[in-house]
Amino acid sequence: MAHLPFVLACSLSLLASSVASGAIVEHSFSVNNLTVSRLCRNQSIIVVNGCYPGPTIHARNGDTLIVHVLNQSPYNITIHWHGIFQLLSAWADGAAYVTQCPISPRQNFTYKFNITRQEGTLWWHAHVSWLRATVHGALIIHPKAGPSFHFLKPTEEVPILLGEWYNGNVVDIEEEGLATGIAPNSSNAYTINGLLGDLYDCSQNQTYQLNVVRGDTYLLRLINVALNNQLFFKIANHNMTVVAINATYTTPYVTDVVVTGPGQTTDVLVNFNQPIRSYYMAATPYASANIDFDNTTTRGIIVYKNSKSSTPIMPALPNLHDTSLAHKFYTNLTCLIDGPHWVPVPLQVDKHMFVTIGVNLEMCPKNATCQGPLFSRLSASMNNESFVLPSNTSMMEAHFNNVSGVYTRDFPDEPPVKFDYTDTNVSFDLSLIYAPKSTKVKTLKFNSTVEINHPIHLHGFNFHVLAQGFGNYNPINDPKKFNFVNPQIRNTIGVPVGGWAVIRFQANNPGIWYMHCHLDIHLSWGLGLAFEVENGPTPESTLPPPPLDLPKC
128 and 167 fall within a common domain:
no
Q: What's the pTM value of the predicted model, to 2 decimals?
A: 0.95
Q: Which tens digit of pLDDT belongs to each residue from 509-547?
A: 999 999 987 676 777 888 899 999 999 999 999 999 999
Domain contains 508: yes
Shared domain for 176 and 123, answered yes or no, is no
Categorize the per-residue pLDDT at 147 as very low, low, confident or very high, splitting at 50, 70 and 90: low
Residue 423 or residue 514, greater confidence: 514
Give the pLDDT band (50/70/90) at residue 437.
Answer: very high
Instruction: Identify whether residues 123 and 180 lie together within a single domain.
Output: no
Residue 13 has pLDDT above 50, yes or no: no
pLDDT tens column, 179-231: 999 888 899 999 999 999 999 999 999 999 999 999 999 999 999 999 989 99
Strands (E) located in 13-107: 24-38, 41-48, 56-60, 64-71, 79-82
What does the CA dihedral 195, 197, 200, 205 come to, rounded to 10 degrees? 80
Question: Residues 115, 200: one domain?
Answer: no
Q: Are residues 437 and 512 in the same domain?
A: yes
What total number of domains does the chain contain? 3
The model's pLDDT over 333-361, given as tens digits with 9 standing for 90+, comes to: 999 998 899 999 999 999 999 999 888 99
CB 513 within 8 A of CB 411: no
> CB under 8 Å to 198, separation ≥6 — which residues?
204, 206, 207, 299
- Residue at 17 is within a domain: no
The answer to whether the beta carbons of residues 491 and 265 sit under 8 Å apart is: no
pLDDT of residue 5: 31
Q: Do 318 and 403 reside in the same domain of the chain?
A: no
Is 8 within a domain? Answer: no
Closest CA to 439 of 403, 415, 393, 408: 408
Domain end: 304, 334, 364, which one?
Answer: 334
Is 186 among the domain residues?
yes
Select from 334, 361, 382 the last residue of a domain: 334
pLDDT at 523: 72
Concatenated DSSP letters of 427-450: TT-HHHHB--EE-BEEEE-TTEEE
Distance of CA 469 to the CA centre of its chain: 22
Nearest to 54 by CA among 76, 28, 26: 28
Q: How many of the other CB atoms lie within 10 Å of CB of 522?
A: 22
Q: Which residues contact 86 (CB under 8 A, 6 or more apart)?
A: 92, 93, 113, 459, 460, 509, 511
Give the pLDDT confidence of 27-64 residue by residue, as tens digits: 999 999 999 999 999 999 999 999 999 999 999 999 99
In this predicted structure, the answer to whether residue 18 has a pLDDT above a threshold of 90 is no
CATH at 63: 2.60.40.420
The mean pLDDT of 387-410, rounded to a whole number, is: 96
pLDDT at 11 over 60: no
pLDDT band of residue 1 (cuts 50, 70, 90) is very low
Task: Note whether 371 and 275 are same-domain residues.
Answer: no
Average pLDDT for the chain: 92
Pairing mode, if any, of strands 189-192 and 209-212?
A: unpaired
- Phi then psi for residue 388, to 5 deg, are -120, 125
130, pLDDT greater than 80: yes
Same domain for 492 and 370: yes
Q: Is the model more confident about 417 or about 84?
A: 84
Q: What is the pLDDT of residue 150?
A: 77
Residue 535 covered by a domain: yes
Has residue 15 been placed in a domain? no
> How far is residue 43 CA from its own chain's centroid?
25
Show the domain range for 173: 156-334
pLDDT per residue as tens digits for the range 283-329: 999 987 767 789 999 999 999 999 998 899 999 999 999 999 999 99
* pLDDT for residue 517: 79
CB 88 within 8 A of CB 385: no
Amino acid of residue 208: Y
Rounded Cα gap, residues 504 and 489, in angstroms: 10
Residue in 328, 299, 332, 330 with CA at minimum distance from that of residue 314: 299
As a whole number of Å, the end-to-end CA separation of the chain is: 35
Beta bridge partners of 522: none
Is pLDDT of 375 > 60? yes
